[in-house]
Amino acid sequence: LLDGLDLCTAMEGHPTFPPERAVRTLLPVIHALKYAHARGVVHRDIKPENIFLTTSHDGVVQPKLIDFGIARQAKDKSDARITRTGAVVGSPGYMSPEQAAGAESDHRADLWSICVVLYELVTGSLPFDGDNYLALIRAIIEAEPQPLSFHEIHEDELGTIVSRGLGKETHDSGEAGEWRGRAPAEW
């Protein structure tokens, strides 16, 4: 019932967005995620196809986060018959390492995915690639993305945000799935 187009379609005509436009486009989505996360809801499938761009009656573009079809309540085990630990849930190119490994994921998986979308918006490519599904999953889990500067984007603060958001090192606590750079306090 929305009038507009999804971000993936918008990217077809403009394969890259200037950094400022990319951030402005994603900020409302980040706010929507923050709202959902505060209520214990994890989207689990952030990708350009699930970001819908509508235009208000006064001509302002309003991004909307859509398709909560595989979202779940944090720590809710009621979907155990549908999604088990070890099952991979999400769109491969946008999955966090913990999702790709089939491990439990929480709101930090959404933060990872929004950083993948941001990376794609400003560079025109995904941060991880592989010749097939398994190679892509391995790259997500093991490889480091090219820095934004590799793509001739010299925005140091944006590069730091993306780098931290796509960080894979575990916290000193040693808890599985505690990926550096996506701590809730850093919203």
Query: Catalytic residue numbers?
Result: 45
**In DSSP terms, which residues pair with 42 in a beta bridge?**
72
What is the DSSP code string of 1-61?
---EEEHHHHHHH-S---HHHHHHHHHHHHHHHHHHHHTTEE----SGGGEEEEE-TTS-E
Q: 3-class DSSP state for residue 65?
A: strand
The CA-to-CA distance between both ends of the chain, in Å, stands at 31
Helix and strand totals (H; E) in the chain: 6, 5
Phi/psi for 55 (5° steps) reads -125, 130
